Amino acid sequence: MMTAIFPARSLADRLTTLFWRKPKLLLALMLTPPLLWLGVIYLGSLAALLLQSFYSIDEFSGMVVPEFTLKTYAELLRPQNYDIILRTLLMSAAVTLGCAILAFPIAYYAARFAKGRWKAVFYLGIMLPLWSSYLVKVYAWKLILAKEGIITWATDATHTSGILNAILALPVIGGNSLSTSYIGMFAVFTYVWLPYMILPMQAALERVPTSMLEASQDLGATRAQTFRTVILPLAMPGVIAGSIFTFSLTMGDYIIPQIVGNSANFIGMAVYQLQGTAGNIPLAAAFAVIPILIMLVYLALAKRAGAFDAL
Amino acid sequence: MPSIKLLATTALALVTGLTPAFAEMTEVGASEGQLNIVAWAGYIERGETDKAYDWVTKFEADSGCKVSVKTANTSDEMVALMNEGGFDLVTASGDASLRLIAGKRVQPINTALIPSWSKIDPRLQDASWHTVDGVHYGTPYLWGPNVLMYNTEVFKEPPTSWNVVFEKMDLPDGKSNEGRVQAYDGPIHIADAAQYLMFHKPELKITSPYELNEEQYAAALELLRVQRTLVGRYWHDAFIQMDDFKNEGVVASGSWPIQVGLLQSEKLPIASVIPQEGATGWADTSMLHAEAANPNCAYKWMEHTLASNLQSDLSVWFGGNPVVPAACTDGSGMQTAEGCTANGLDDFDKIRFWTTPVANCSQGEGACVPYYRWVSDYIGVIGGR
């Protein structure tokens, strides 16, 4: 009786052959899990959210009525809800601007002047706050900014409490203490999101070729002119990339406005309260759609400004 | 409206594939081994916060039911958690209980299965916030007033009126109350304003702070807008409020007895009072979820809440009053007759218990402002509208 000439082929061997003959099969097998993840879990949850926002709530029992209606979106236009959206937008814009102004000199120095060990120190300094818990940082700020906190103590000790009181006396953004005012909230937001602005800015500034700066000088431009006409336009994509982070992170945050500030609602907080506390998931979903729309517009504008060209 | 409600609940029952249990139980069977309760913070203690306060360990040993607790900060949160499901019991206040009944999230209970039912304060046995058309939807748990907490260094004498948190004025230390008072971050606080007006503006003819017609409601909101200018930050988390009394210079606020007790235990100059206008209050009820997975354990727990050291020790710990009046004096726990008096036992009639405001009230069909408007308008007031 003849025995096999070739050694018996294992399953792995046969699979290898199959994949060699049909390379597309392997590709499909490898791509399916991540695509399923993206499609079902990520886009699926977004679709569920969108669907919920077209439902409404029975106002007494708090049960969701699964019937298609635009009533929930109409509720967003009520003055108190409209206020929440406007308040969040203004805070996000202010925080983004504040971060950009603070981050530029730091990023510029880190990108162009810091060398060797100093560069490492800079990176470490920027990243360090990201390594501690977000909640710890916010609670620490609540204590720093409190009426009986270190800032009040320091201004009392240096006899400058008049300045602090003058700032707090400002209409709208002022308040009883830094920790219950918009100024305080702005400070905490700016602190927490600053690294997300510095890093992309620094990356953009590092890509500005030195030769262009030299050419600008050779052609007789002053330092201010060089900055305005060469450095800033070339670094702009980095600024815009950073602003996407700070803007969207501020818009979605719900913890800082709960701990610091005067209890006025922000979008994130409203979503948190409406879905968790009031059980009004449709209105929470409608609120959650707003930042998505705003970010889509923002990203479209950023794309036109060339923020993604370097990606 | 009823048809929409019916449609909603039917649809939900279909979607989740569950049939709500409408019939009440007829006997308590063997333990399921566990019990999941939604409760206010500090309501269910197992000796972990303070060794002396424990009313769970012994129950677990005797009944074989392992108790898990999910704490909630507001009534709205409790309703939301019960709507999500997965819990057996909830310690619902009067502003949540009727909503839970209307939403069919809780089931009637058979009082015959709770031997100690007869020991409950008769004023609470058939209370309107858990009894609908003669059907009981829960076992009373604890009741108490919403007190005015104040700093004794600023107020040498206890404040006599809630006006310190409602109207711009100078406090006894000569400084304005602006930024030094707080208010509760929940729509039910509108009732506190209405109760204040009941006393100071009799011409509005408010008879119940939970039944407000348009004019009365507008006056209450107007008062709350004044309060907004005085309040730096509203409180909804008991621990953030305590921190604000310590670090933010807050000296007076509506509060719960538990914050007063905890701050006093840290030796801070804090005390509380029920001012002349009276107070709103809470009367909480253990309610059984319509789809409770562990009903036997739940019934055992409800009996336990009435028959053990729980009533007495809980009323000391949380600063409320036992629903079993005997617990004040029978020595089952640490509570004493004086303690109950201090917690407002004799003021039962002065306290207006949290109830969900509904449109059809004693003033007529659709005459009152319903709760959902309280919610959206209070968000508006806090936002400066």
DSSP A43: I
Partners of residue B204 on adjacent β-strands: none
The distance of A80 to chain B (nearest Cα, Å) reads 5
Residue A126 belongs to what H/E stretch? helix A116-131
A86, two tokens: 């406007």
b/e string for B361-370 if b means 16 or more Cβ within 10 A? Answer: beeeeeebbb
Residue pair A140/A134 in contact by the 8 Å Cβ criterion:
no
Contact A279 B379 (CB under 8 A): no
Place of tokens 């019937």: A67
Q: How big is the A-B interface in CB pairs under 8 Å?
A: 124
Q: Among candidates B95, B84, B72, B279, which has minimal Cα distance to B187?
A: B95
Residue A294's nearest CA partner among A257, A254, A244 is A244
> Which pLDDT score, from 0 to 100, does residue B12 have?
46
Nearest to B358 among A60, A263, A264 (CB): A60
* CB-closest option in A60, A87, A262 to B233: A262
Q: Which residues of B touch A259 (CB under 8 A)?
A: 240
The answer to whether B199 and B274 have CB atoms below 8 angstroms apart is: no
Assigned token pair, B45: 């203690």
Query: CB-based burial of residue B181 (10 Å sphere; 0-12 exposed, 13-18 middle, 19+ buried)?
Result: buried
Contact state of B233 with A58 under an 8 Å Cβ cutoff: no
Distance, in Å, from the CA atom of A237 to the CA atom of A305, rounded to the nearest integer, reads: 7
Confidence of residue A41 (pLDDT cuts 50, 70, 90): confident
Cα angle A166, A171, A175 (rounded to 5 degrees) comes to 70
Q: What is the pLDDT of residues B127-173, one digit of tens each?
A: 888 998 889 999 999 998 899 999 999 999 999 999 999 999 999 99
Query: What is the spatial distance between Cα B148 and Cα B272, in angstroms, rounded to a whole number?
Result: 5
Q: With pLDDT > 90 as the criterion, what percentage of chain A qualifies?
A: 38
C-alpha triplet A239, A245, A248: angle, nearest 5°:
125
As a whole-number percent, the residues of chain B with pLDDT over 70 amount to 94
Distance between CA atoms of residues B129 and B92, nearest Å: 10
CA nearest to A77, candidates B376, B315, B368: B376
Whether A261 sits inside 8 A of B379 (CB atoms) is no
**pTM beyond cutoff 0.90:** no
List CB contacts (< 8 A) between A278 and chain B: 76, 80, 375
Digit-coded pLDDT (tens) for A176-209: 889 999 999 999 999 999 999 999 999 999 888 8
Is A140 exposed, middle or buried (CB count within 10 Å of its CB: 0-12, 13-18, 19+)? Answer: middle
Encode pLDDT of B56-94 as tens digits.
999 999 999 999 999 888 888 888 889 888 999 999 988
Residues from chain A contacting residue B102 (CB–CB below 8 Å): 60-61
